[in-house]
Amino acid sequence: MNPHLRLLNALRTGSKPIMTFLGLPSFRTAQVVAQTGVDAIIIDCEHGHISDDSMHSSTAAIAALGVSPLVRLRGPQADLIKRALDAGAHGIVVPQISTAEEARAVVSHAKFPPQGLRGQGSAFPAIAHGIDVPTYMKTANETILTCVQIETRQGVENVDAICSVHGVDMVFIGPNDLALSMLGYVPAQGSEPEFVGAIKKIVDAARRHGKWVGRLSNNGALCREHLKIFDTVALSYDVRAIQAWYKAELQAVRS
């Protein structure tokens, strides 16, 4: 048990950790969000304004405050996985995984030999894990969270095979892309039988194969409801939080 791995430890004890997304390329934003009480922050290199340099800085800032930094990659490429893990990410979130073959490739690049193909050369991940390099090398394969996003029709069709892949720790539902793929529009109303059925199929597959399962939640009330089913949720996004505060306060001023 490494006390620095806040998200992993919370998942293992079933204490329903709460994450959020970081899309702004700021060391200071990372610090501010990490001090709010969240258990993990997903640094969004897929849709956020996050460069490689910002990803490194944010990872270090978040980990230093006792919160778990995860990195959502632009895709499943080996070099992107390597850079995120070498920066010290406690886990990776890989979007648009639709087949078991894609999931196996992600796992192979996230694990050191003999379980995978990951190369060693960075001193930074040990710092973010609060341990020395030899200890990191011994424990990384068991402690780094490999999370794949199921957000396509094909991914839903193949979810049982994806969840059966050894080394996949968590599946994460991106409800907007899932709705686009299943329904052709966003946001989903949440009552469409096809959409509801897809989410249930993902959750059921994760449970059968002993994987944690999470999803995006837009606000605290939805988080509370979703945590009755899911192991973890991601509470909105830093950009949306800033916009929501200003909109609410401006409405109060002008009403």
Q: Any alpha helices (H) in the chain, and if so which ranges?
A: 6-13, 27-34, 52-64, 78-87, 100-110, 124-128, 133-143, 153-157, 159-163, 175-183, 193-208, 220-226, 238-254
Distance CA 251, CA 255 (A): 6
End-to-end CA distance of the chain: 52
Distance CA 217, CA 45 (A): 19
Instruction: Mark whether 90 is an active-site residue.
Output: no
Q: Which of 4, 47, 90, 109 is catalytic?
A: 47
Distance CA 149, CA 203 (A): 12
For the record, the structure tokens of 140 come out as 């990384």
Triad 161, 166, 170: Cα angle to 5°: 80
Length of the chain: 255
For the record, the structure tokens of 217 come out as 């939640």
Q: By C-alpha distance, which of 29, 33, 31, 9 is closest to 19?
A: 33
Residues known to be catalytic? 47
